[in-house]
Structure 1
Amino acid sequence: MHVGAHVSISGSRVSSDEETPPYDDVRNAVHRQVAFGGNCGQIFTTSPQVWAQPEIDDEAAAGFREATAEKLDGPWVIHSAYLVNLCTPKEDLRRKSRESLQAELDAAEKLGVPYVNVHLGAHTGAGVEGGLDNAAEVIDSLAIPDGVQLLVESDAGSGTKLGGEFEHLAGIIDRTETDVGICIDTAHTLVAGNDLTTPGAVDETIGRFDDVVGLEHLEYIHLNDSKHDVGTHKDEHAHIGEGYIGEDGMRAIVNHPDLRDLPFALETPTEDGRGFEWNIEKTRELRDA
């Protein structure tokens, strides 16, 4: 089973005996993933809250690639900055989004990471069709390196954000000449209006995704439970099996024949004395042999 967490590249220690350098370094992500018990996962290459370019020197990149090959089994994915908005009608914001996303794609090539994950963003008045057109224009202007694939993530769908409906994901695939993949976030999918709380509901939702988008485009899953119910459009993650998806829904997701071989990256909270290690172990407990 390929399961891990979204881990930091910071030099702060997880435990006193961890081998992380005392400064930001992508190699820290591998040590941290191992400490949590994960074998794949997700990173930010820089602060997601600001327009900043990744700063990864050749030594760190080589160390990251070597440590990943030695200690992990599944693929990494880089999550783009939160500021990126591909759907916006504002040309300046689209330009900054394009430059930021291109930098992440180039970083992925340097690190040997096969995926970069991005949200479509909000159309802010351009309308659904206009927003999808804007996003497709940005995506097709990118120079995507060989061996790297751009993944569009499903969204909770609040306000004018796109990606909450499967039709939005299909729309961006249809509009682009780029080989775009999809990353489904289970918490986002639930609160956007798709039931995942029972085995039957999971089957129905996956079947609808296949009909609208196509399972052949699904490359990665953000496995998160939700603190809010179906259709609320509120994005707040919960511990695995302890939110509105619950153990029955989570067990159905991680064992579903169309999903079980995909990589799962957790973005669960650190609270109540539990963090990624507990959630990764819980995920494995829900997995059938």
Structure 2
Amino acid sequence: MLRVGAHESIAGGVYNAVEDQVEDGGNCGQIFTHSPQVWQDPNIDDDEAEEFRQLSDEHGVGPWVIHSSYLVNLCTPKEDLREKSVDSMQKEVDAAATLDIPYVNVHLGAHTGAGVDGGLDNAASALDELDVPEGVTVLIESDAGSGTKLGGDFAHLAEILDRSAQDLDVCLDTAHMFAAGYDLSSPQAVEETLQEFDDVVGAEHLQCVHLNDSKHECGTNKDEHAHIGEGLIGEDGMRAFVNHDMIRDVPLVLETPTEDGKSFAWNIERVKELRA
């Protein structure tokens, strides 16, 4: 069964994300538990959580993913930022348990001078400080790879899975992969890229995909999302990707823009059309 949905707002109550998802035609999805631009704790009371769980069950929407704050930097060598990042992540995995959400998604962040090896060690040890509730898994998201950010190389993802004592898995973002230099613009490119992911990381670790087209060329490290099939990955690449054996059973979460009269509903329908 195709699982496709969008990143929905929790404005007015986290349960509103479920209703918005259903309205958009989705059956899985992602949320922030608070504004991702500030250090803030999830503010979800028991009644909200219960309604979210009930509505998700009633409408058959799931799995859901919590996306961590953009401020979290697991690779940082700065102790104060590390402490804030670990504290924020702990609150996110606890919120996931409360909402019966199985995944919390996080970027590794930037090593800011610690070097690749030092940054990966920092991230692994920060993740190891978390007390992850049963039934919740932290997903490391692939990155576009600009500056000193880690996660753009599949080898970074594999190293984190190896170095951390946590039972981690991976979320691939198609726009980030493309920006980082992994071509997805043709059936052959999709096959080669996903085979490389399987060889380096392992297909068994892929639990979610952020499905986004790209407004920029492959390898530019520029992260700007486009409508499905209308960016530089394009229709042929997107069709090959969503129909690939490695992807068919993986939930697809859209972070596409709302522009040109097209929103999440248009993009969700586009994915359904591309799935053979």
Question: How high is the TM-score relative to the length of structure 1?
Answer: 0.95
Matching of residue 271 in structure 1 with residue 259 in structure 2: yes
SS state at 1:49 partner: coil
The superposition leaves residues 259-288 of structure 1 with CA deviations (integer Å, 9 ceiling, x where unpaired) of 111000000000001100000000100001
The code of the aligned residue for 1:196 comes to: L
- Once the two structures are TM-superposed, the CA of residue 73 in structure 1 deviates from its matched residue by 3.8
The corresponding residue for 1:201 is 189
The corresponding residue for 1:3 is 4
Partners of 1:247 and 1:239 lie apart in 2 by 10
- Once the two structures are TM-superposed, the CA of residue 155 in structure 1 deviates from its matched residue by 0.2
- Once the two structures are TM-superposed, the CA of residue 72 in structure 1 deviates from its matched residue by 2.6
Q: Which of 149, 158, 161 is the matching residue for 2:149?
A: 161
The superposition leaves residues 236-278 of structure 1 with CA deviations (integer Å, 9 ceiling, x where unpaired) of 0000000011000000111001111100000000000110000
Map of 1:134-283 to 2, 5 A cutoff?
134-283=122-271
Matching of residue 287 in structure 1 with residue 275 in structure 2: yes
- Once the two structures are TM-superposed, the CA of residue 228 in structure 1 deviates from its matched residue by 0.5
Q: Which runs of 5+ in 1 are unaligned?
A: 11-23
- Once the two structures are TM-superposed, the CA of residue 160 in structure 1 deviates from its matched residue by 0.2
Map of 1:83-162 to 2, 5 A cutoff?
83-162=71-150
Partners of 1:267 and 1:72 lie apart in 2 by 21
The code of the aligned residue for 1:246 comes to: G
- The runs of 4+ residues in structure 1 deviating greater than 2 Å are none
The corresponding residue for 2:54 is 66
SS state at 2:271 partner: helix
Q: How high is the sequence identity, in percent, across the aligned residues?
A: 67
- Once the two structures are TM-superposed, the CA of residue 178 in structure 1 deviates from its matched residue by 0.6
The count of residues paired between Structure 1 and Structure 2 equals 275
The corresponding residue for 1:47 is 35
Partners of 1:199 and 1:74 lie apart in 2 by 29
The superposition leaves residues 16-39 of structure 1 with CA deviations (integer Å, 9 ceiling, x where unpaired) of xxxxxxxx2100100110111100
Partners of 2:175 and 2:136 lie apart in 1 by 26
- Once the two structures are TM-superposed, the CA of residue 180 in structure 1 deviates from its matched residue by 0.4
